[in-house]
Amino acid sequence: MTVQPGEIHGLVGQNGSGKTTLVKLLSGYHAPDSGGEVQVDGAPVGLPVRPAELHRLGMSVVHQDLGLLDDFTVVENVRIGAFRRRRLTRSIRWDGERQLAREALQHLGHEIDPNARVRDLLPADRATVAIARALQHHHPGRGVIMFDESSRALPRDSLEHFHALIREVAGRGGSVLLVSHQLEEVLSVADRVTVLRDGVVVASGTPTSELDEHELIRLMLGYELDSRAPARAAVTRDGREPAARARGVCGRLVDGVTLEIGSSEIVGVTGLMGSGFEELPYLLGGAHPAQAGELTVGGRRIDLATACPRDLVDAGVALVPERRDAQGLSLSMSLLENVTLPRVRVHGSPGRLGFGWQREEADWVIRELGVRPPAPGMTVGNLSGGNQQKVMLGKWLRGDPRLLVLHEPTRAVDVAARRDLMAVIFRVATSGSGVLVAGMDANELQSMCDRVLIMRDGRIEEELRGAAVTVEGVVNAVYRNHSNGHAAVREGVA
Ligand SMILES: Nc1ncnc2c1ncn2[C@@H]1O[C@H](COP(=O)(O)OP(=O)(O)OP(=O)(O)O)[C@@H](O)[C@H]1O
Ligand SMILES: [Mg+2]
């Protein structure tokens, strides 16, 4: 595979096809088998790549999990490895460091408090910190910057800044390797694209001008994919109790949300970052304590300000969070253990588990969601990012929840898996569950939701129903009253 100077090179492939492994080989995290060769700017690089060499070679990387130090501040994360020290005392000049970090972030069009702890940041801000770090270590005109799905948490407006920045890097003669499952993004931003299938290059540096999405999907999968959304069985909801009712929910961003989700109904909730749509799933799922509010599910009324996650699980609420590493999975446990964890209490005491049901549930998840490799005993941390996402979804889907709450459910998965996932979510809805999908992807909302709620300043401000749920309708509603999508320019709330 050759990445030219001055080009943005896309790298695509199904979940588990080897994209991250390749990036980790190039950044010295993995040692390659013998026989390969790597050259940067014409000079051979000793293998395995020594991480300490990366800076000199002009190589930097934003890993799929971003590689941030959660307990450290923004300035520490951005500037780590590059701190400037006073000559005599060798102490770090923090004022200067904060200024440099601030500038690096502003380049990406973001204001983030340099003193904030990274653990407390929203996903989009975390991504920005990681990207700012990689960009600032880059030597203009040399080397290569690798982004492993780093931009997927960025909202539309920040994404434009990001694309402008990588174009600038390429414009000065540097190279960019862009790993992404957003094929639209790859086709519009990258000059050429390399496709991996099962660890093998099946298309090498094909110019994106010669490709369309359909063809790119065919290269990735090796077969034609039905590009229509999967079928959803019609159900009559007349006279059925709603699956869930939430009243007066307040949190850090959410400011008094009341909503009802019908049985078999799929409701979307979206908005700008900070509008509260991204917090709502965690308040309803009991992962973050609410300041106020109640949720009625399956005849039980739960006070969200005092409830613990287990109360919600017992009532039939399943939360699928966005960040599988921190919130959704135990990476050191096996696939089977992760999948069955929520139901261990129902099935017996830890001493007498009886593995039959566990094996059956794990096989169900592997089959329904196409987890690869299909190995129930595999340590989840060794699965590829997208396959981890499938395990996390499967873990909760299997439990027949009354209310299924999803945050960005298909972000890390490939086009084929996205379709499988959608089909499973549809089936869960058809069986009578209510589904709430919080996310920014207007395409996803359009193809899944009966209704979409638009939040602004912590409140639900607008509702799109039925035929009004289109990509354009959602985007327009989200960006209404916001000049270039940035911080609130409010012209009176509707
Ligand atoms: N440490 C490991 N031990 C065993 N298998 C591994 C290990 N790391 C990765 N694999 C396997 O190698 C394959 C390639 O994984 P990789 O993470 O490179 O995929 P990917 O293309 O980045 O996928 P995704 O789009 O899901 O991020 C997967 O099948 C994965 O399970
Ligand atoms: Mg990966």
Q: Which of 1, 6, 12, 10 is nearest to 167 (CA)?
A: 6
Q: Do 207 and 97 belong to one domain?
A: yes
pLDDT-based confidence at 4, cuts 50/70/90?
Answer: very high
Q: How far is the CA of 384 from the centre of ligand 1 (A)?
A: 4
Q: State the CATH number of the domain containing residue 308.
A: 3.40.50.300
* Ligand in closest contact with the CA of 197: 1
Atom of ligand 1 nearest to the CA of 384: 17
* Ligand in closest contact with the CA of 387: 1
The answer to whether residue 88 scores a pLDDT higher than 80 is yes
Atom of ligand 1 nearest to the CA of 389: 26
The answer to whether residue 494 scores a pLDDT higher than 50 is no
**For residue 482, what pLDDT is reported?**
63
Kindly report the average pLDDT of the chain as a whole number.
89
pLDDT mean over 11-27 = 95
In this structure, is the dihedral angle defined by the CA atoms of residues 137, 142, 144 and 147, taken in order, positive or negative? positive
* Closest residue by CA, ligand 1 atom 27: 385
Q: Do 441 and 294 belong to one domain?
A: yes
- Given a contact cutoff of 8 angstroms between Cβ atoms, the answer to whether 253 and 276 are in contact is yes
Contacts of 160 (CB under 8 A, 6+ apart): none
* Closest residue by CA, ligand 1 atom 25: 15
Instruction: Decide if 415 is inside a domain.
Output: yes
Atom of ligand 1 nearest to the CA of 196: 21
Picking from 221, 254, 273, the residue at the C-terminal end of a domain is 221
Between 492 and 6, the more confident residue is: 6
pLDDT-based confidence at 481, cuts 50/70/90?
Answer: low
Query: Pocket of ligand 1, candidates 1, 11, 20, 150: which has the most ligand atoms within 8 Å of its Cβ, to mutate?
Result: 20
pLDDT-based confidence at 401, cuts 50/70/90?
Answer: very high
Instruction: Decide if 1 is inside a domain.
Output: no
Burial of 201 (0-12, 13-18, 19+ CB in 10 A): middle
pLDDT-based confidence at 310, cuts 50/70/90?
Answer: confident
Instruction: Decide if 236 is inside a domain.
Output: no
**For residue 135, what pLDDT is reported?**
87
Q: Do 151 and 254 belong to one domain?
A: no
The answer to whether residue 350 scores a pLDDT higher than 60 is no
* Ligand in closest contact with the CA of 14: 1
Instruction: Decide if 322 is inside a domain.
Output: yes
Q: How far is the CA of 389 from the centre of ligand 2 (A)?
A: 11
Q: What is the largest CA-CA distance in the chain?
A: 78
* Closest residue by CA, ligand 1 atom 1: 382
- Backbone φ/ψ region at 368: left (φ over 0), alpha (ψ -120 to 50), beta: alpha
Summarised one tens digit per residue, pLDDT across range 176-211 is: 999 999 999 999 999 999 999 999 999 999 999 999
**For residue 354, what pLDDT is reported?**
65
Summarised one tens digit per residue, pLDDT across range 371-397 is: 999 999 999 999 998 899 899 989 888
Summarised one tens digit per residue, pLDDT across range 402-419 is: 999 999 998 888 988 888
Tracing tokens 């069985």 back to the chain, one arrives at 233
Q: Do 200 and 315 belong to one domain?
A: no
Q: How far is the CA of 118 from the centre of ligand 1 (A)?
A: 26
Q: How far is the CA of 387 from the centre of ligand 2 (A)?
A: 9
Instruction: Decide if 131 is inside a domain.
Output: yes
Q: Do 164 and 289 belong to one domain?
A: no
Summarised one tens digit per residue, pLDDT across range 280-294 is: 999 999 999 999 999
* Closest residue by CA, ligand 1 atom 13: 16
Q: How far is the CA of 188 from the centre of ligand 2 (A)?
A: 21
* Closest residue by CA, ligand 1 atom 17: 384
Burial of 207 (0-12, 13-18, 19+ CB in 10 A): exposed
Q: Do 269 and 185 belong to one domain?
A: no
* Closest residue by CA, ligand 1 atom 31: 383
Q: Which of 239, 257, 242, 321 is nearest to 294 (CA)?
A: 257
Q: How far is the CA of 22 from the centre of ligand 1 (A)?
A: 10
Report the distance separating Cα 42 and Cα 142, nearest Å.
11
Q: Do 193 and 269 belong to one domain?
A: no
pLDDT-based confidence at 49, cuts 50/70/90?
Answer: very high
The answer to whether residue 37 scores a pLDDT higher than 80 is yes
pLDDT mean over 254-261 = 97
Instruction: Report the domain count for the chain.
Output: 2
Instruction: Decide if 235 is inside a domain.
Output: no
Q: How far is the CA of 8 from the centre of ligand 2 (A)?
A: 18
**For residue 493, what pLDDT is reported?**
31
Q: How far is the CA of 180 from the centre of ligand 1 (A)?
A: 15
* Closest residue by CA, ligand 1 atom 18: 18
- Given a contact cutoff of 8 angstroms between Cβ atoms, the answer to whether 472 and 440 are in contact is no
pLDDT-based confidence at 224, cuts 50/70/90?
Answer: confident
Report the distance separating Cα 405 and Cα 267, nearest Å.
10
**For residue 346, what pLDDT is reported?**
73
Instruction: Decide if 129 is inside a domain.
Output: yes
Q: How far is the CA of 18 from the centre of ligand 1 (A)?
A: 6
pLDDT-based confidence at 487, cuts 50/70/90?
Answer: very low
Three-state secondary structure call for residue 31: coil
Q: Do 250 and 176 belong to one domain?
A: no
Q: Do 280 and 182 belong to one domain?
A: no
**For residue 351, what pLDDT is reported?**
60
Owning domain of residue 33: 8-221
**For residue 491, what pLDDT is reported?**
33
Atom of ligand 1 nearest to the CA of 23: 18
* Closest residue by CA, ligand 1 atom 19: 16
Q: Do 360 and 418 belong to one domain?
A: yes
pLDDT mean over 81-87 = 83
Atom of ligand 1 nearest to the CA of 388: 26
* Ligand in closest contact with the CA of 385: 1
- Given a contact cutoff of 8 angstroms between Cβ atoms, the answer to whether 290 and 457 are in contact is no
Q: Do 194 and 258 belong to one domain?
A: no
* Closest residue by CA, ligand 1 atom 28: 16
Q: How far is the CA of 197 from the centre of ligand 2 (A)?
A: 13
Question: Which residues' Cβ are closer than 6 Å to ligand 1?
Answer: 13, 15-21, 64, 372-373, 382-387
Instruction: Decide if 346 is inside a domain.
Output: yes
Q: Do 275 and 137 belong to one domain?
A: no
Which contiguous run of DSSP H or E holds residue 83? Answer: none
Q: How far is the CA of 420 from the centre of ligand 1 (A)?
A: 20
* Closest residue by CA, ligand 1 atom 24: 15
* Closest residue by CA, ligand 1 atom 7: 382
**For residue 339, what pLDDT is reported?**
92
Q: How far is the CA of 379 from the centre of ligand 1 (A)?
A: 12
Q: Which of 28, 97, 33 is nearest to 67 (CA)?
A: 28
* Closest residue by CA, ligand 1 atom 6: 382
**For residue 146, what pLDDT is reported?**
96
Q: Which of 102, 106, 190, 108 is nearest to 146 (CA)?
A: 190
